[in-house]
Amino acid sequence: MTGKAKKLRRLIKSIWVFNWFNSCGFTELVPVVGSRWDMERFGMVVTGTPRHADVLFIAGYQTHKSIRRAKIIFEQMAEPKVVIGLGACSMTGGMYWDSYNTIKRLEDYLPVNMYVPGCPPRPEAVFEACEKIFQHVLEMKDE
Amino acid sequence: MNESDLIRDLDKEFGACAQEKRKRRVWVSVELNELIDVCRFCYGKGFRHLSTISATDYPSEGMYELTYFLWSYEDKLLVTVKTTISRDKPVIDSVTSIWGESAQIHERELHELFGVKFEGNKDLTPLFLEEWDGPPPFRRDFNWRDYVREKYYDKENEREKPYYL
């Protein structure tokens, strides 16, 4: 993660999220947005534009076509920014490991900060990933 | 118009090529040079809806079979027009002059997945496979697993060894 510790500490009080989901990605992450697991209690809000977002959630298999759009979205986000890959597909290709038109490892294309394994990952796992990032920021030393 | 009327008209116009497969389903097998005429004839008979175009690959016989599914809203008839083209040099005339945009997108897809070239179709750029360098992926002799192993994975990598089993 890049950026000054002081700035990041201010940022983690409210994380704005941009979702980039292919295939089943979004349906699996809907519980996180919904009232039962409610991500807003941690100050996480889904934004409509990448220019307002701090965190980019990427889930589902990415095709060669969609990863180009994901790169454009990543470039539009303001620093400091975090990329979290969700699910088995973004890590290894998942059940599409032998598909000719999906990418296999997200980190070959975008600087991924954290992977959340699972097919799909549980909402608790998503929150744990965010918590780890919060903890990391809190433990960062001032320069 | 019912099935037998259509079969009679087609036989009169193009020779014995049509058969009733079952109720409200008619198959028409035509030569490549007759395809556009048959399609135009059917369009004139009220087959205004081109449901889809599909290709079937027969590597042992060296041919693709192209199948056009036409639907008539007035007569509730489904006509299946079949023709064969060479597999090595898959070139065929486009039916965009008859059905326009709805034919265009089906032909674009077949061009992407089977490599069939439709002469007269203005836009045959790939729909999904941007920056694709392999052969057309829906051909039967395209081994996608070997392609993926070569392109994405490393046999020496301990974590990727299971992909080569």
By residue range, what is the domain housing residue A70?
Answer: 5-139
- Give the domains, in start order, of chain B with CATH numbers: 3-128 (3.30.460.80), 133-165 (no CATH)
- Judged by CB atoms closer than 8 Å, whether chains meet at B148 and A64 is answered as no
Give the number of other Cβ atoms within 10 Å of residue A86's Cβ.
28
- Chain A: closest CA distance from residue B128 (Å): 6
Grade residue B108 by pLDDT with cuts at 50, 70 and 90: very high
Whether A2 shows a pLDDT value over 60: the answer reads no
**A47-56, B59-68, B103-112, B155-164 — which is least confidently predicted?**
B155-164
Give the residue from chain B lying closest to A103, CA to CA: B152
Instruction: Note the pLDDT of residue B13.
Output: 84
- CATH number of the domain that residue A37 is part of: 3.40.50.12280
**A54-64, pLDDT tens digit by residue?**
889 999 899 98
User: Residues of A with CB below 8 A from B148's CB?
Assistant: 97-100
Count of domains in chain A? 1
Tell me if chain B has a CB within 8 Å of the CB of A117. Answer: no
- Look at residues A70, A86, A17 and name the one whose alpha carbon lies nearest to residue A46: A17
Q: What is the ipTM, given to two decimal places?
A: 0.74
pLDDT, residue A143, reads 67
**Rounded to a whole number, what is the distance in Å from the CA of A90 to chain B's nearest CA?**
14
CA–CA separation, B73 vs B101, rounded Å? 18
Q: Does the beta-carbon distance from A101 to B147 stay under 8 Å? A: no
The mean per-residue pLDDT over the stretch B44-63 comes to: 91
Tell if the CB–CB gap between B163 and A98 is shorter than 8 Å: yes
Other CB atoms within a 10 A radius of the CB of residue B23 amount to 8
Tally Cβ neighbours within 10 Å of residue B92: 23
Q: What is the pLDDT of residues A101-127, one digit of tens each?
A: 888 889 989 999 999 998 888 889 988
pLDDT at res. B73: 92
pLDDT mean across residues, chain A: 87
User: Is A68 near chain B, with CB under 8 Å?
Assistant: yes
Give per-residue pLDDT as tens, B34-51.
Answer: 889 889 998 988 899 999
Asked if B128's CB is within 8 angstroms of A101's CB, the reply is: yes
Rounded average pLDDT over B96-116? 91
**Region B122-138 average pLDDT:** 87
* Greater pLDDT, A143 or A142: A142
- For residue A76, name the pLDDT band (cuts at 50, 70, 90): very high
Q: Using an 8 Å CB-CB cutoff, list chain A residues near B145.
A: 98
Cβ separation B153–A104 shorter than 8 A = yes
Which among B130, B137, B153 has CB closest to A100? B137
Query: What is the per-residue pLDDT for A3?
Result: 62
Of B132, B137, B145, the CB nearest to A98: B145
Given the DSSP bridges, would you call strands B25-29 and B91-93 parallel, antiparallel or unpaired? unpaired
Long-range pairs of B130-136 with CB within 8 A, sequence gap ≥ 24: B130/A64, B130/A65, B130/A68, B131/A64, B132/A64, B132/A101, B134/A100, B136/B112
